[in-house]
Amino acid sequence: MADRTPLAAGNWKMNGTAAALDQVKALADAQGSAASDILLCPPATLLQRMAQAAEGTKISVGGQDCHWNEIGAHTGDVSAAMLKDAGATAVILGHSERRADHAETDEIVRNKTKAAWEAGLMAVVCVGETLAEREAANTIAIIEGQLAGSLPEQATGHNLVVAYEPVWAIGTGKVPTTDQIGEVHDMIRSRLIERFGAGVGKSVRVLYGGSVKPSNATEIFAVENVDGALVGGASLKADDFGGIIAALDTAKG
């Protein structure tokens, strides 16, 4: 894995109130010796409290989105600097739900990624195809375009993670075959190397996301160039997410 530390990232989406912070303590207690990096991305309302709850543990905390400006008249938005101030070390950008629900283009994702880097945050940049694009055999072309348009030039293995999430697999229970996952991850690795050079291209972690569960994690993590997972619903419960982390440790240890 070219010294890439595996990463288990949890995207809580629009879920969780203060009571859910008990899951952070339970996860920290159970995963104190985990070899993989662990990242939880809660709603903005929980970010600071989760960062405090996770302090001194294996768990890092991130945001789910940020604005491309540091300050300004942008009602309802949160800047990367604000996430950093609240205790975040990372931010998810370009998730398919943001691209679809908020009409985020590759250019917007690229500008947000620049802002995240300027604030000192690691950007988890998401790419993925719809079912129609998959059935039309356009998967590779779509993701190549998203990579080219969404990633700025200053990428490193420290400031960038790429997450491949086929839109049709998110929350549906459907999972691509391991061959399909491997094809996309191999392509992403190749494009990262071509664009940023072998040193950077081999150091950027590439995660798989889309209906990852303890029951299928081992099979997914056995695929070459899968460096971990971006997990949705299964990251809300310490037991479920812990099972995925354990599978990742075993597969990549």
DSSP string, the chain: -TTPPPEEEEE--S---GGGHHHHHHHHHH-TT-SSEEEEE--GGGHHHHHHHHTTSSEEEEES--BSSSSSS-TT--BHHHHHHHT-SEEEES-HHHHHHS---HHHHHHHHHHHHHTTPEEEEEE---HHHHHTT-HHHHHHHHHHHH--S---TTTEEEEE--GGGTTTS----HHHHHHHHHHHHHHHHHHH-HHHHTTSEEEEESS--HHHHHHHHTSTT--EEEESGGGSSHHHHHHHHHHHHHHH-
Catalytic site includes residue 95: yes
Number of domains in the chain: 1
Please identify which of the residues 67, 95, 104, 185 carries the catalytic annotation.
Answer: 95
Domain CATH code at residue 154: 3.20.20.70
Would 248 be classed as within a structural domain? Answer: yes
Please identify which of the residues 97, 104, 133, 165 carries the catalytic annotation.
Answer: 165
Would 188 be classed as within a structural domain? Answer: yes
Whether the model pTM is above 0.85 = yes
One pLDDT digit (tens) per residue for the chain, 253 residues: 568 999 999 999 999 999 999 999 999 999 989 999 999 999 999 999 999 999 999 999 999 999 999 999 999 999 999 999 999 999 999 999 999 999 999 999 999 999 999 999 999 999 999 999 999 999 999 999 999 999 999 999 999 999 999 999 988 888 899 999 999 999 999 999 999 999 999 999 999 999 999 999 999 999 999 999 999 999 999 999 999 999 999 998 7
By residue range, what is the domain housing residue 237?
A: 7-252
Catalytic site includes residue 67: no
